[in-house]
Chains A and B, each alone.
Chain A
Amino acid sequence: DAGVIQSPRHEVTEMGQEVTLRCKPISGHDYLFWYRQTMMRGLELLIYFNNNVPIDDSGMPEDRFSAKMPNASFSTLKIQPSEPRDSAVYFCASRGPSRDGYTFGSGTRLTVV
């Protein structure tokens, strides 16, 4: 199993541009989570899905952020328009029926200039 796959690994974009982050969870995992990590705020849960359905999006900072999970093997996190304060590492994680810990992807390091 290749684990949770995120793309791109690094993204540098200009303020105001749209950014799309992608995630492929582990096959068979029914929960998918999007986290943001910064030095100041640590690991913050943005949104999570169960069986492709968004369950809790209370951590999504504002309307500029949106997330979708059109099928069990793919999810996107979109920021439109992006701002410098969105600069962070964004992690996707999935969790399976065994209900052990999360498996995190390698993350996307986003820099908005």
Chain B
Amino acid sequence: GQQVMQIPQYQHVQEGEDFTTYCNSSTTLSNIQWYKQRPGGHPVFLIQLVKSGEVKKQKRLTFQFGEAKKNSSLHITATQTTDVGTYFCAGHPTTSGTYKYIFGTGTRLKVLA
């Protein structure tokens, strides 16, 4: 079936270091979303990417959507302790006849002060 994988599964970084998580889909996506879930919390929507090759920035966060619309990445510059949490991508397959998004497996980020 359709799958969305994320790597790495876990990442520990020192505060101030950069961080990147990658999202790969087995099928072409019409769009992709990114969410952040703090420990013990719920997923919070960060951004949606729609166009092939699209790049969007939110302060220290940079999001990219691949040219083939099958992969995406989230890059955090100079991590802070407030960046701790699990980052999920969620893709909507172009072949999907329904409105559901497939969530990736998530990357758990730990930032060491």
Which residues of A line the B interface, CB within 8 A?
31, 33, 35, 42-43, 45, 48, 50, 55-56, 91, 93, 100-107
Would A50 and B99 count as touching, CB distance under 8 A?
Answer: yes
Would A100 and B45 count as touching, CB distance under 8 A?
Answer: yes
Residues of A within 8 A of B28 (CB): none
Q: A91-B43, A107-B42 are in contact. Are A43 and B98 (CB under 8 A)?
A: no
**Which of A31, A91, A93 touches B99 (beta carbons < 8 Å)?**
A31
Name 12 A/B residue pairs within 8 A (Cβ), A-sorted. Answer: A31-B99, A35-B103, A42-B103, A43-B88, A45-B101, A91-B42, A100-B45, A101-B45, A101-B46, A104-B42, A104-B43, A107-B42
Would B100 and A45 count as touching, CB distance under 8 A?
Answer: yes
* Complex Cα–Cα for A80 and B35 (A): 31
Would A102 and B45 count as touching, CB distance under 8 A?
Answer: yes
CB A111 to nearest CB in B, in angstroms, measures 15
Residues of B within 8 A of A91 (CB): 42-43
* Complex Cα–Cα for A66 and B106 (A): 27
Q: 16 additional contacts, CB 8 Å, given A42-B104, A104-B43, A107-B42?
A: A35-B103, A42-B106, A43-B43, A43-B88, A45-B101, A56-B98, A56-B99, A56-B100, A100-B45, A101-B45, A101-B46, A102-B43, A103-B45, A104-B42, A106-B41, A106-B42
Chain B residues with a Cβ closer than 8 Å to the other chain, count: 20
* B42, B98, B99: most-surrounded residue (chain A CB, <10 A): B42
CB B18 to nearest CB in A, in angstroms, measures 24
Dominant secondary structure at the A interface: strand
* Complex Cα–Cα for A101 and B36 (A): 12
Nearest residue (CB) in B for A100 is B48
**Which of B41, B46, B99 touches A48 (beta carbons < 8 Å)?**
B99
Q: Does B112 contact A (CB under 8 A)?
A: no
**Which of A42, A45, A100, A101 touches B105 (beta carbons < 8 Å)?**
A42
Residues of A within 8 A of B106 (CB): 42-43
Q: Does B78 contact A (CB under 8 A)?
A: no
CB B100 to nearest CB in A, in angstroms, measures 5
Residues of B within 8 A of A45 (CB): 100-101, 103
